[in-house]
Amino acid sequence: MVTGSGTGAQQLSDALSAARKLIISYPSRRRAARAYRKLVACGIRLEPLLGATSGLAIPVIMCMWRRPERMKTILRMLDDQSDCPPIRLVLWNNNSLNSAKIRSDISGFSAVGSLESIELYESAVNVGGIGRFLAAREVRKHSTRGLMIMLDDDQDVSHSFVRDLAATGSPRTISGVWAWRIHSGYWDRTQVVIQGGSADYVGTGGCVWDSSLIDDRRLLDDLPSRFMFMEDIWMSRFAAQRDWNLRMVDTPVSFVLADLDQGHDLHRQKTKFYEWLVSRS
């Protein structure tokens, strides 16, 4: 009886805590939604910071928010990539407070390897990882290259990362290191660990994709505002419903500073979002 009471009290406490977070975050979420819709309508302009891109370069798109100290490490990792096309790094910064640090690290970096160029977009409002799709749309406007890679700023990768992903890229396909088969619900899932294995979900960080997906305006237009920080689920489901292939890529990737991930606050929301998507299919 004491256990039951304690459990009930804890559930009530958790519910109240979640409600408080929702009340506090609601104005900022509304602001983010408005900012996102404006960016979708008006587009963006990428600012060149280092080098010049060529038609041979493969775009690597990355969002940044709370890990500016990772900038130097990421630049070195990408410049150290081996046996791969030149790399065009496209950064989306969701935190203006980190602008000076990011710019300083880039200006002080000398690329001597695979990193060909760096471009930056600074969002006045944190719109989350969906910014990477806005950046991809801008890149695709001026490039015929179909494949793009997405990287998260909390991922450490090996020298073969870009080569491994580029080798698996193909039309109408999203392939990535964080791949899952989903069963009865979003969190009832099994990780895909076999190279080329079929998946229902592929995480945006550490994936290569056919960027023609962005040509379908609905990828940007139809994402519900209340779920806009769950662009990974949205991309996978959007692609799968259009008979695209989702695959696993086997390449070494490790995660660092995971405690600073925006996704930690979205556990229940991800369940709701996935259920909503399934109900509409």
Q: Are 51 and 111 in contact (CB under 8 A)?
A: yes
Comparing 102-111, 198-207, 260-269, which segment has the lowest mean pLDDT?
260-269
Domain membership of residue 3 (yes or no) is no
Question: Could you tell me the pLDDT band of residue 9, with boundaries at 50, 70 and 90?
Answer: low
Q: Which two tokens stand for residue 230?
A: 């769950």
- Kindly provide the b/e burial profile for residues 243-277, where b requires at least 16 CB atoms within 10 angstroms of the residue's own CB: ebbbbbbebebeeeeeeebeeeebeebbeebbeeb
DSSP 95-107: -GGGHHHHHHHHH
DSSP structural state of residue 22:
H
**Integer CA distances (angstroms), 3 to 9, 14, 33, 51, in order:** 10, 16, 42, 63
**Integer CA distances (angstroms), 46 to 94, 104, 121, 129, 136, in order:** 14, 17, 5, 16, 11
What mean pLDDT value characterizes the chain?
90
Residue 4's pLDDT is 41
How many domains, the chain?
Answer: 1
Residue 2's pLDDT is 32
Residue 12's pLDDT is 60
Q: pLDDT digits over 126-138, tens only?
A: 999 999 999 999 9
Comparing 16-30, 32-46, 112-126, 145-159, which segment has the lowest mean pLDDT?
16-30
Residue 30's pLDDT is 86
Q: What mean pLDDT is predicted for residues 225-245?
A: 96
Q: Which two tokens stand for residue 89?
A: 């790094």
Q: Percentage of the chain surpassing pLDDT 90?
A: 81
Q: What mean pLDDT is predicted for residues 146-158?
A: 97
DSSP structural state of residue 249:
-
Comparing 15-19, 134-138, 253-257, which segment has the lowest mean pLDDT?
15-19
**What crossing angle do the helices spanning 131-141 and 2-42 adopt, rounded to 10°?**
20
Domain membership of residue 212 (yes or no) is yes
Question: Could you tell me the pLDDT band of residue 25, with boundaries at 50, 70 and 90?
Answer: very low
Q: What mean pLDDT is predicted for residues 109-120?
A: 98
Q: Are 176 and 203 in contact (CB under 8 A)?
A: yes
pLDDT > 60? residue 259: no
Question: Could you tell me the pLDDT band of residue 17, with boundaries at 50, 70 and 90?
Answer: low
- 3-state secondary structure (DSSP) of residue 136: helix
Q: What mean pLDDT is predicted for residues 163-167?
A: 98
- Cα gap 53→45, rounded to integer Å: 15
Domain membership of residue 11 (yes or no) is no
Q: Which amino acid is at 6?
A: G
pTM of the model: 0.88
The CATH number that applies at residue 130 is 3.90.550.10
pLDDT > 60? residue 27: no
Contacts of 50 (CB under 8 A, 6+ apart): 106, 107, 109, 111, 115, 117, 118
Residue 254's pLDDT is 95
DSSP structural state of residue 198:
B
Domain membership of residue 8 (yes or no) is no
Residue 55's pLDDT is 84
Q: What mean pLDDT is predicted for residues 35-58?
A: 95
Domain span holding position 237: 16-280
Domain membership of residue 254 (yes or no) is yes
Residue 267's pLDDT is 84
Q: What mean pLDDT is predicted for residues 80-87?
A: 98
Question: Could you tell me the pLDDT band of residue 266, with boundaries at 50, 70 and 90?
Answer: confident
